[in-house]
């Protein structure tokens, strides 16, 4: 099943498979912060993220969102459709937090209405610089039509996930998505886990996401386990 290593990322490795239309994503027991500047081995993280992302992708698929997920091969490996990666990180923010709070000198937690959508150019070397829709189109990263589709899908995914997390007593503050092209369509790829979103407990406002690692606030595995348990409770 596992062929050649195609790409080794911060949280996942990607392998070729016997089928040229499919690739294997292997979730790693590794956490990074400061764009890879801080790197730690964390036993059990890969499995947790794979299980959480699988639950979330299956929920999105059930609700009409096309994704690359085909099947889970093990607790930390997913067989996915091979797509042409669009090198953009799409960030949606429902409430002020993180870099948005720092950039504009704003207090965390205030509602953003409508939600903010930001784009970052995926490049470790360049530190994922912010990019706008005009730049994306003019450089040729994506067409205007594709960007409209990405925007629309991001908003629909936000509505679906806000509802799902709300049932678990979690407030979806912000998140990052990635998209790929396949058969002339744009579909959701990569993962959705506490590594790439902010989830705050609705009652205590405690972070249940990677901020616990970034800020050395709590144990990452214990925190991610709580998220998985809450998700499993309602699925």
Least separation in angstroms between residue 18's CB and ligand C5P is: 31
Does 190 sit near ligand C5P (CB under 6 A)? no
The span from the CA of 116 to the CA of 139, in Å, is 23
Spatial separation of the C-alpha atoms in residues 219 and 90, rounded to whole Å: 27
100 touching ligand C5P, by CB under 6 A: yes
* Contact in structure between 136 and 147 (CB atoms under 8 Å): yes
User: Is residue 17 a contact partner of residue 3, using CB atoms and an 8 Å limit?
Assistant: yes
Stretch that binds ligand C5P, among 41-49, 59-67, 97-105, 148-156 (CB under 6 A): 97-105
Would you say 73 or 155 has its CB closer to ligand C5P? 155
2 vs 205, beta carbon nearer ligand C5P: 205
Paired tokens of 176: 């990052």
Stretch that binds ligand C5P, among 21-29, 79-87, 135-143, 193-201 (CB under 6 A): 193-201
187 strand-pairing partners: 180
Q: Is 50 in the site for ligand C5P (CB under 6 A)?
A: no
Q: Which is nearer to ligand C5P, 116 or 182 (CB)?
A: 116
Burial of 215 (0-12, 13-18, 19+ CB in 10 A): exposed
Minimum gap (Å) between residue 99 Cβ and ligand C5P:
3
Q: How far apart are CA 197 and CA 98, in angstroms?
A: 11
**Least distance to ligand C5P from the beta carbon of 100, Å?**
6
Residue 161 vs residues 1, 52, 107, 165, 231: alpha-carbon distances, Å: 32, 13, 24, 6, 11
Is 198 among the residues that bind ligand C5P (CB under 6 A)?
A: yes
Contact segment (CB under 6 A) with ligand C5P among 22-30, 38-46, 61-69, 196-204 equals: 196-204
The number of C-alpha atoms within 13 Å of 170 and in the hemisphere containing its C-beta is: 25
Taking contact as CB under 6 A, which single stretch among the options 63-71, 143-151, 155-163, 171-179 is the one that binds ligand C5P? 171-179
Residue 212 as a binder of ligand C5P (CB under 6 A): the answer is no
Residues that bind ligand C5P (CB under 6 A): 89, 91, 97-100, 128, 174-176, 196-198, 210
């Amino acid at each position: 099943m596992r062929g050649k290593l195609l790409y080794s990322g911060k949280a996942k490795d990607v392998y070729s498979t016997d089928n040229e239309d499919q690739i294997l994503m292997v979730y790693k027991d590794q956490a990074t912060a400061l764009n890879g500047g801080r790197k730690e081995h964390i036993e059990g993280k890969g499995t947790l993220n794979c299980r959480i992302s699988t639950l979330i992708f299956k929920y999105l698929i059930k609700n009409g969102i096309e994704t690359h997920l085909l099947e889970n091969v093990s607790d930390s490996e997913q067989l996915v459709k091979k797509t042409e990666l669009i090198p953009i990180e799409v960030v949606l923010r429902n409430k002020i937090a993180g870099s948005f709070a720092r950039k504009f000198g704003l207090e965390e937690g205030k509602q953003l209405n409508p939600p903010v959508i930001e784009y970052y150019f995926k490049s470790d070397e360049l530190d994922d610089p912010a990019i706008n829709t005009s730049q994306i189109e003019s450089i040729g990263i994506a067409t205007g039509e594709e960007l409209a589709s990405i925007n629309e899908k991001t908003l629909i995914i936000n509505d679906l996930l806000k509802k799902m997390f709300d049932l678990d007593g979690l407030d979806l503050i912000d998140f990052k998505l990635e998209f790929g092209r396949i058969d002339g369509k744009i579909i959701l790829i990569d993962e959705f886990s506490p590594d790439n979103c902010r989830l705050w407990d609705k009652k205590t406002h405690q972070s249940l996401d990677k901020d616990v690692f970034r800020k050395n606030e709590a144990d990452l595995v214990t925190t991610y386990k709580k998220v998985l348990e809450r998700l499993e409770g309602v699925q």
